[in-house]
Amino acid sequence: MLLHRIIYFSEIAIPDEDDLETQLNRILNSASRRNARLGVTGALIVTNKHFIQVLEGGRRQLSYLVTLIGGDTRHKNFTLAQFVPADMRIFMQWRLLCMGASEVPTHYGSRYSTSGTLEPSLITLNGFHLMFQEIADRYGMREQQPVVMPTNGGETIPPTMSAADDCGRKVLV
Ligand SMILES: Cc1cc2nc3c(=O)[nH]c(=O)nc-3n(C[C@H](O)[C@H](O)[C@H](O)COP(=O)(O)O)c2cc1C
């Protein structure tokens, strides 16, 4: 199986703040279960307006998730920025690391976006990459080892990911 990486962004389409927290918990619960089963790892940034997500795993598994997540009515204007082969995972031990708006450092906007704010349509591919690497470094989970992928169709957790590595930080806005 060939390791791939996708990055997409979208606009949040959840009506009010309370509901956002509930929905975010639901999303994280589903993602934690399914991503582990599919051998997929990644991170989700939730700004005041947007979702920005990176997912890493097998090509077939990621294609499936693009369709599933892309059709989710809790966001709109789903924009796939990247779907490429990858040498190694950035978020090796995270089924889905989640960063809420209050967790996103203010310097990310000026560092990674040409607009000075975290406006995803103005973040270059390199900007996304550097930003996700900074996040992984920040949480001490960046893994430099090449990944050994499951060979049985990707239905098991990669050997390097233990069951205790649940969707780590359920950091909400
Ligand atoms: C922004 C966003 C990110 C999501 N990320 C994932 C994910 O990484 N993995 C996943 O299985 N589902 C993810 N989902 C949820 C799926 O779209 C879908 O609703 C869910 O997996 C269905 O799960 P269920 O089997 O619990 O009903 C995400 C949804 C949204 C809105």
pLDDT tens track for 75-111: 999 999 999 999 999 988 888 888 888 888 888 888 8
Over residues 61-68, mean pLDDT:
98
Closest protein CA for atom 20 of ligand 1:
30
15 contacts 75 by C-beta, under 8 angstroms: no
- Longest CA span, the chain: 45
Residue 42: how many CB atoms within 10 A of its CB?
25
Which domains, and CATH codes, for the chain? Answer: 3-138 (3.30.70.100)
Residue 58 pLDDT class (50, 70, 90 cuts): very high
What is the pLDDT at residue 157?
A: 40
Q: Return the best residue to mutate from 8, 23, 69 for the ligand 1 pocket (most ligand atoms within 8 A of CB).
A: 69
pTM of the model: 0.84
Checking phi first, is residue 153 left (phi over 0); if not, alpha (psi -120 to 50) or beta?
A: left
Give the tens place of pLDDT for each residue, 111-167: 888 888 889 999 999 999 999 999 888 876 544 444 444 444 443 443 333 333 333
8 contacts 84 by C-beta, under 8 angstroms: no
Ligand 1 and 34: CB distance under 6 A = yes
From residue 121, alpha-carbon distances to 18, 77, 114, 125, 140 in Å are: 27, 11, 10, 10, 28
Ligand 1 and 167: CB distance under 6 A = no
| Ligand 1 geometric centre to CA of 33 (Å) | 10
